[in-house]
Amino acid sequence: MQYRTLGRTGIKVSPYGLGALMFATSVGNPDPDDSARVIHKALDAGINLIDTADVYGDSEEVVGKALKGRRDNVVLATKVSRPTGDDPNQQGTSRRHIVTAVENSLRRLGTDHIDLYQIHVPDPTTDIEETLSVLSDLIHSGKVRAIGTSATPASDIVEARWAAERRGLARFHTEQPPYSLLNRGVEREVLPVAQRHGVGTLVWGPLGQGLLTGRVRKGEENRLRRAAFFKHLNDERRLDVVEQFISLAEEAGMPLTHLAMAFAIAHPGVTSALAGLRTMSHLDDLLAGLDVVLTDDILDRIDEIVPPGTDVGTLDQAYTPPALQRAALRRRPPGERTAA
């Protein structure tokens, strides 16, 4: 395993990491012992990065139990800011919420420190200096070793660095954006900004949340396409493009999953790609593709199918900024719309 440095932290991580959402018994593998076996085999193979979140059902508990006796050999990451309850203060990036949330995550994970603590989605209601202040305190206390963001626009990444410099606070060390053969929008600004400022990137959704496994085909009905949770699996635009990638993978003599994962880590701005595994067979397929390296010819063909910096549809769990969710933020009051 050729490890990569996570930004400028000095922490070494494997090019492929485990995204732990599917270890939650409510949405993924219902057997925690089986998930533990998957985790142990991944660690034995050299994968040392596991990423979870406080809103992934019981994923933190499952991961924590699986790591008993092996915690020191794992770069353990989790996330905060999405709602964890009905109370309006059980979400966001306020000091009040983060101080409580980190203690809960430490307890569920069964550890005294988190290697990488990430803001799951931006919180426009909290001043970034407030958030960086509490995260800096957590680093100084030893409960958190490094901090990061997720789904954050490039402009906000830079603004956070300015705020950290002004106040002498800890800087965000990482960003976790969506990135795959189908979703390349972050190539325009997020990845270049991360490279420029030495920010490590852990990309999620490299398999298109299931679309790039080859198990979902255009014109074919299956269990995944019927599930309401996976709306993007019925996006005809995405399915059309997937068929082209299936043909390319066949020409290249490799499974589609290997093509997709190798693409995700080929970009110089990507540190590690998080695979949302659920079963041992999923892990075996990932491990079988560890040595796959895409040639320039294949990368050129990929660029022809999905041009650099473009997205084909969106992932179901992609972050949508408030200005795109609320029409009132995009429209002047009726009385101010006239040019006169």
Q: What is the CA radius of gyration of the chain?
A: 20
Amino acid 24: pLDDT:
97
Contact 74, 67 (CB under 8 A): yes
Amino acid 219: pLDDT:
59
Amino acid 223: pLDDT:
53
Amino acid 77: pLDDT:
98
Given the DSSP bridges, would you call strands 144-150 and 49-51 parallel, antiparallel or unpaired?
unpaired
The DSSP result for 77-95, as a single string, is EEEE-S--SSSTTSSSS-H
Write the single-letter amino acid at 6: L
pLDDT band at 214 (very low <50, low <70, confident <90, very high): confident
Where do the H-state alpha helices sit in the chain?
A: 32-44, 59-66, 95-109, 128-141, 154-167, 190-196, 223-226, 236-252, 256-264, 280-288, 296-305, 322-325
Amino acid 222: pLDDT:
60
Residue percentage of the chain with pLDDT more than 90: 84
Contact 148, 176 (CB under 8 A): yes
Mean pLDDT of 38-46: 98
pLDDT tens for each residue of 282-329: 999 999 999 999 999 999 999 999 999 999 987 767 788 888 888 888
Amino acid 270: pLDDT:
98
Catalytic pick among 56, 117, 179, 319: 56
pLDDT band at 180 (very low <50, low <70, confident <90, very high): very high
Averaged pLDDT of the chain: 93
Mean pLDDT of 80-90: 95
pLDDT tens for each residue of 119-175: 999 999 999 999 999 999 999 999 999 999 999 999 999 999 999 999 999 999 999
Domain with residues 4-336, CATH architecture: Alpha-Beta Barrel (3.20)
Q: Could you tell me the CA-to-CA distances from 199 to 41, 98, 255 in Å, in that order?
A: 29, 22, 31
Amino acid 157: pLDDT:
97
Q: Which residues contact 87 (CB under 8 A, 6 or more apart)?
A: none
Mean pLDDT of 98-104: 98
Cα 203 from chain centroid?
5
Q: Known catalytic residue: 319?
A: no
Amino acid 324: pLDDT:
84
**What is the domain partition of the chain in residue ranges?**
4-336
pLDDT band at 226 (very low <50, low <70, confident <90, very high): very low
Give pTM, 2 decimals.
0.92
Mean pLDDT of 214-243: 69
Distance between CA 190 and CA 192 in Å, rounded?
A: 6
pLDDT band at 330 (very low <50, low <70, confident <90, very high): confident
Contact 169, 95 (CB under 8 A): no
Residue percentage of the chain with pLDDT more than 70: 94
